Amino acid sequence: MSPEAWARCAPWLAAALDHAGRSHDLADVEEMVSQAEAQLWAGDRAAMVTLLEDEPRERRLLIWLAGGDLSELVNVLRPAAERWARGQGCRRVLIVGRPGWERALAPEGYAPLARIIAKEL
């Protein structure tokens, strides 16, 4: 990951972190990407961060953070991540996001699997 790519993507990812509950900050995400614990998908107008998750009966790709231009996310970065995930042996893709993702990706075969609700303590 080049410093230029990170600088371009950081504002989009910071906004995504705000919606993801701020369990991490940008420095944490940058470290995860630099250590190959997460994957950065950098576009011209958008960015995504994914994680490979291994369970006893499946490997999956989690689209954890995404921000920027929705069209680029849906039509460019997501399909690239899906192709890569197939090559990594993933059985499915999960997306953590706001309800708009359901509407935007329903035509691509994405459907709700579960709802996540949270309460601050």
pTM given for the model: 0.89
Output the pLDDT for position 119.
66
Helix/strand/coil percent split, the chain, to 5: 45, 25, 30
Please list the residues that pair with 93 across neighbouring strands. Answer: 61
In a domain, 119, yes or no: no
CATH number of domain containing 102: 3.40.630.30
Express each pLDDT in 49-95 by its tens digit.
999 999 999 999 999 999 999 999 999 999 999 999 999 999 999 99
Express each pLDDT in 17-60 by its tens digit.
988 778 899 999 999 999 999 999 999 999 999 999 999 999 99
In a domain, 10, yes or no: yes
**Number of domains comprising the chain:** 1
